Amino acid sequence: MDFRRGTSREEPEMNLVPLIDVLLVILIFLMVTTTYSKYAELQINLPTADAPQAANRPKQVDVAVTSNGRYIVNNTPVAFSTPEAFSTELKRAAGDEPDPMIVIDADASATHQSVIQVLEAARLAGYARVTFATQQKRK
């Protein structure tokens, strides 16, 4: 029996303000301590090498790749549209040599795709000996 007259039963109230305060502090902590890295902005140092010059060098075809994507084969600028067309240019530069050494001298700021196009053209021409030119270490 309920002997209380005129009193209504009140529902208990849940105070959400402290919960919101704690969640905001955790959110601010996570935002401050999280580091955001951009992998597209990696600084890469290209390799250098200390090696003596080879005494007898086979016929070689020098391919220079400039920073703006131009190609120079044996000091002659070359324009092409496909790797197949560039492979014919490599064959023309090699002359009668069956398997010349292809030396790629790419600028440090040349795109990766421009170097890959030279590698693809050498593969299409049937040349398996491909190397990269490096700088001498500064002392």
The string of pLDDT tens digits covering residues 74-113 is: 888 888 888 899 999 999 988 888 889 999 988 888 888 9
pLDDT averaged over the chain?
81
Rounded CA-CA distance 17/104 in Å is: 66
- pLDDT at site 17: 92
Q: What is the CATH number of domain 60-132?
A: 3.30.420.270
Q: Is the pLDDT of residue 28 over 70?
A: yes
Query: Residue 6 has what pLDDT?
Result: 60
Return all residues near 18 (Cβ < 8 A) that are at least 6 apart.
none
Residue 24 has pLDDT above 90, yes or no: yes
DSSP secondary structure, the chain, as one string: -----SPPPPPPPP--HHHHHHHHHHHHHHHHH-----GGG---PPPB---PPPSS---EEEEEE-TTS-EEETTEEE--SSHHHHHHHHHHHHTT-SSPEEEEEE-TTS-HHHHHHHHHHHHHHT---EEE--BPPP-
Which has more pLDDT, 53 or 64? 64
Confidence of residue 122 (pLDDT cuts 50, 70, 90): very high
User: pTM of the full predicted structure?
Assistant: 0.56
